[in-house]
Structure formats: C-alpha cells, structure tokens
Amino acid sequence: MKAYITKIEYVLPENKVDNPKNRLTKKTGISSRHICKDYEIASDLAFRAAEKLLGNEIDRNSIDFLILCTQSPDYYLPTTACILQDKLGLSTDCGAFDYNLGCSGYIYGLSMAKGLIESGQAENVLLLTAETYSKYINPKDNAVYPLFGDAATATLVKGYAEEESGLEGFVLGTNGAGHQNLIVPVGGMKNRESETEFEETTDEYGNYRTNRNLYMHGSAISDFALDVVPKTVDKILLKTSLKKTDIDYYVFHQANKFMLQFLQMKCDLLDYPYWNDVKEYGNTVSCSIPIALVDMMRANRDKKVNKVMSIGFGVGLSWGGCVIDMSKYEK
C-alpha cells in the first residue's frame, strides 16, 4: 500500500478582522484574518473541517486513524483527537492522537500518515490541523497581532496498491536551540502560573504582551527560514532524484508575502510556479499549507498539477518538506 492525498477541506471562523492599510500590511500582504470568538475552540473548527470533508459520501467506519495537529488543544488531557473521534462518529477501532507542532506540523502529519499506511497499520488516515493562535496573542502587540489567523483543515490520506508512493522525499529537521524565539512562556509545567503572568510589559517598539502571550523574535525566525528552506529544497530533490523542472508547483508555509518572496529568490525559484497568497487568511500556522494546496488546485483546475513540493518551518525550531503526488486528489 502507498499513501496518497485524495481530498482536503478547510474552514475559517466567521469573524473576519481587517488589518489597517499601512506599511506593515503592504509588506506582509495580509489584508485580513479570521479570528475565533471567545467561545470557539480548536476542536470546534476541526470538527467543522472534518464534517465538511466526510459529509455523507465517506464511510466513517473506513477511517482507521485520526491525527490532530494543534498547539491550542481543548485540555492538557485528554487528547483532543479522542474527543473528535466521538463527535465525528468514527469507529472505536480508530486510533487517535494529537501532536504539538506549528508551521511544520502538516508535513510531519503527512509523514506519520504515510508511515501508518505503508507499514500496514492503516488504510485511511484523517489528518486534521486546527489552530486558534489568536487566543495567545495580545491585540496590542503589533509584531504578531496583524500576522496570525485561526483556521482548521481536514485531509484524507488513503492507501493504494501502487508501486510508487504519493508522498515521498521527506526531509525533517529540528533545532531546539532556537526554541525561545517563538514561545508562549507561561502555561506549561516548566513555568507554572504566577502572580506576574498577567502583568503587561512593553518592548522598545511599543508592543505590549504578558507571559501568557505569544512572543516571536521576527528577525531570528526570518534568518532561520532563509537558512533551512533552500537547503531543504536541495535535499528533497536529491532524495527523490527530481529536478526543479519536474515539480509542477512549489507550495510553502504561507508566513507572509515578504518572507515568501525572499524565499522564492533564495531558493532560485523565480521562474517556477510558486504559491504566495496570504491576503485573506494571514499565517494560519499548521493550516497554511493545506489551505494553500486547496486554493492552488482550484486556481489550476484546468491544468495538470501532479508533483507539488511543500515545506513548512517555524516554532521549535522545526522544519519539514516533501513531494506530494496530487494525481488522486479530488478537485
């Protein structure tokens, strides 16, 4: 059995927030984002995305594994994926677990889905991503508030009796030495709740945040991405024995327009089909690549798009990439 993506769906919160028309918005290319209401949580979005994908057409008993990527789970425990298994009416013979990764998370999820299918442990894997980063962000922190949006996606990865896999050339990497460059300092077991966790501080640029808010060292994250992504492109091509011209589309993590343009130049991809569209969504973390895949395939409905290279990079610090054969994808 070989693993192929057959279907992807995504959902966005109804609440849409427009960014101000200023120099930052022009640079990032992010005009608006969708932000959860206070009562909306990651499992709500994940449920909607999964229902949109499954509908009445897919036999829910055929799903034998559910994987959820989120950094905003409903609880410390139990695993949110277990709650979703029940809400979605999936079989109790279905395995389910969460994993905690950000912008590289979708690639890691595809890697796990491939492993489950090609080792004979599963035939149909439902891979979900759901993020409500807005709940971590201080609205008065202009370094991150205008960048991130909430979303959820659902991907069906199926096994086929093929000679070649639809998911290949995985390259995964980690550099935990940079973990403090993208972090929510308080909330886990290391830094437990304290009297000062809600005290606001101001940085030199006038951005406000507490220790319960997301902190991002923007320039350090940019330097990291510009270092690892070009190397990852080369490693994937080497691993798959492909040339750049063999790839029909390059779909990277949709961080912001400026970053994507810089990466396109650094990876020497200026003359190749390359997706860069953050205008309506912003950075949706682990949801950005699957959303981009859906929109790219819709935009190229009348064209043959089989081989897509995708690379994610971000919190951890973590990165991953692969080549996706979209030949069995339902447009």
So which residues are the catalytic ones?
A: 103, 253, 283
Buried b (16+ CB within 10 A) or exposed e, 85-94: beebebeeeb
Q: Which helix (H) or strand (E) holds 42?
A: helix 42-54
Residue 296 CA to residue 300 CA, distance in Å, equals 6
Number of H-type helices and E-type strands within the chain = 7, 15
Residue 270 CA to residue 226 CA, distance in Å, equals 15
Residue 131 CA to residue 152 CA, distance in Å, equals 6
Residue 7 CA to residue 17 CA, distance in Å, equals 28
Which two structure tokens, joined as six digits, stand for 58?
């897919």
